[in-house]
Amino acid sequence: MLRSRDTKRRLRDPERTRERLLQAGFLEVHRSGFRSASIDTILAATNVTKGALYYHFDGKEDLGYAIVEEIVAKLPQDNWLRPLERGKNPIDALIGIVQATSVLPKDVKGGCPLVNLAQEMSSLDEQFRKRLETIFNAWQEGIATALRKGQAQGTVRRDLVPEETAGFLMAMYEGYVLLAKNAQDAKVWNVGIRNIVGWLRSLRAPRQSRRGGRRLMSKGRAGKQRQ
């Protein structure tokens, strides 16, 4: 009896119902694209009535906007920005992030939810475009902030423009995701990871001159001691 009451309470919990709709909607949009996404499929996956869906969202577009703002926006935050904030060295952190990208067949097949939506909806719906642009901008600025911090610490080359470097990294990363999705082949993405990691290593601040300077300094001190 208690279990039955708990189940009914969960089903009647508006926030829980809304979250289930968002999660099911995200999966359906990622699988089929927004325009082909089926409301009936979302309702069947959540065991929610159409009336309950329209209680939480004005329509399919409203659901789509919420998916972008509440689920898709978290992907670069969780996968990129938080690891960068925790990392001491931004280059090491970025290499770790890239290497941690899943190359499982299901992930290669689906591609990136953010880019998929940007390609599909940016030219069709200005509200989608603006929301997606906000995510891209936050992602780019998060990487740029980490690179600026690395420049101040002496771990990142000072000749780099952080914003441009961040944008290039994003374009290169998502480009390989798209190539792997089109080829339906994880080998394409493994090549991409190797190339991106090699490029990231080239962003480290040069240390050879420092070592040379230390050697010269030590030689100078040694000469003074001999005198």
Same domain, 95 and 179: yes
**For position 8, which CATH number holds?**
1.10.10.60
Q: How far is CA 101 from the centre of its chain?
A: 10
* Domain-ending residue, one of 67, 94, 114: 67
Same domain, 141 and 202: yes
What per-residue confidence (pLDDT) applies to 21? 97
Same domain, 40 and 89: no
Q: Determine the Cα–Cα distance for residues 200 and 128; give it in Å rounded to an integer.
A: 31
Same domain, 81 and 178: yes
Same domain, 79 and 117: yes
What per-residue confidence (pLDDT) applies to 12? 62
Report the percentage of the chain scoring pLDDT > 70: 86
What per-residue confidence (pLDDT) applies to 219? 40
Which amino acid type is present at position 186? A
- Provide the 10 A C-beta neighbour count for residue 154: 11
User: With 90 as the cut, is the pLDDT of residue 18 above it?
Assistant: yes
Of the candidate ranges 43-52, 121-130, 208-217, the one whose mean pLDDT is the lowest: 208-217
43 close to 63: Cβ distance less than 8 angstroms:
no
What per-residue confidence (pLDDT) applies to 43? 96
What letter does residue 203 receive in the DSSP assignment?
T
Residue 223 belongs to a domain:
no
Residue 227 belongs to a domain:
no
What mean pLDDT is predicted for residues 191-218?
Answer: 73
pLDDT band at residue 207 using 50, 70 and 90 as cut-offs: confident
Domains identified in the chain, total number: 2
Q: Compute the mean pLDDT over every residue in the chain, rounded to the nearest whole number.
A: 89
Residue 175 belongs to a domain:
yes
pLDDT band at residue 141 using 50, 70 and 90 as cut-offs: very high
84 close to 146: Cβ distance less than 8 angstroms:
yes
What does residue 134 show for φ and ψ, rounded to 5 degrees?
Answer: -60, -40
What mean pLDDT is predicted for residues 30-39?
Answer: 96
Q: Determine the Cα–Cα distance for residues 17 and 110; give it in Å rounded to an integer.
A: 26
Tell me the two tokens of residue 9.
């309470």
Tell me the two tokens of residue 147.
């690179």
Same domain, 14 and 109: no
67 close to 180: Cβ distance less than 8 angstroms:
no
User: With 50 as the cut, is the pLDDT of residue 7 above it?
Assistant: no
User: With 60 as the cut, is the pLDDT of residue 220 above it?
Assistant: no
Same domain, 119 and 203: yes
114 close to 173: Cβ distance less than 8 angstroms:
no
61 close to 125: Cβ distance less than 8 angstroms:
yes
What mean pLDDT is predicted for residues 55-74?
Answer: 97
Q: Determine the Cα–Cα distance for residues 45 and 52; give it in Å rounded to an integer.
A: 14
Same domain, 126 and 24: no
What letter does residue 204 receive in the DSSP assignment?
B
User: With 50 as the cut, is the pLDDT of residue 156 above it?
Assistant: yes
* Domain-ending residue, one of 52, 67, 82: 67
**For position 153, which CATH number holds?**
1.10.357.10
In three-state secondary structure terms, 83 is helix
Residue 135 belongs to a domain:
yes
Same domain, 49 and 108: no
User: With 60 as the cut, is the pLDDT of residue 31 above it?
Assistant: yes
Of the candidate ranges 5-14, 47-56, 66-75, the one whose mean pLDDT is the lowest: 5-14
Task: Specify the higher pLDDT residue, 177 or 221.
Answer: 177
| pTM reported for the whole predicted model | 0.84
Residue 147 belongs to a domain:
yes
Which residues form the domain of 177? Answer: 73-211
- Provide the 10 A C-beta neighbour count for residue 180: 24
Same domain, 103 and 58: no
Of the candidate ranges 50-64, 67-81, 161-175, 209-223, the one whose mean pLDDT is the lowest: 209-223
What per-residue confidence (pLDDT) applies to 227? 44
Same domain, 81 and 33: no
What per-residue confidence (pLDDT) applies to 14? 85
* Domain-ending residue, one of 22, 41, 67: 67
In three-state secondary structure terms, 220 is helix
Same domain, 46 and 99: no
Please tell me the chain's helix, strand, coil percentages from 3-state DSSP, rounded to the nearest 5. 80, 0, 20
